[in-house]
Amino acid sequence: MILHHIQTSPGNDNGLHTALRYAGKADSFLLSGNGVNAVLKRQWSMALSPFKVYLLKDDVEARGLQMQTSGYPLVSYDEFVALTLSHNKVITW
């Protein structure tokens, strides 16, 4: 069980695309930084739909995206740490 940590917008690099290619059914995604923008595009939200997806609360709020991301759980930094500990591996893309 891997936690895929996406920090960049999928429009700026291919980290999310590559992570989705290698993700297993039990894997989860944590989007932070500009990575939270991925859920705004239908293409990426559909690609992420089979997985557990978490958004870093501070980054969502900093971008004013609370309304657009209401379907996703927002996590604090403490919860981020707990997620890393609950997965076998963390890969930052």
**pTM: predicted TM-score of the whole model, two decimal places:** 0.93
pLDDT recorded at residue 34:
96
For 2-92, the fitting CATH number among 3.30.70.3340, 3.40.1260.10, 3.40.50.300, 3.30.930.10 is: 3.40.1260.10
Alpha carbon separation from 41 to 10, 36, 51, 76 (Å, rounded): 10, 10, 16, 23
63 DSSP 8-state letter = T
Handedness of CA 4, 53, 7, 85 (dihedral sign): negative
> pLDDT tens across 50-78, in order?
999 999 999 999 999 999 999 999 999 99
Alpha carbon separation from 17 to 48, 58, 85 (Å, rounded): 10, 24, 24
Report whether pLDDT(4) > 90.
Answer: yes
Beta carbons within 10 angstroms of residue 88's beta carbon: 9
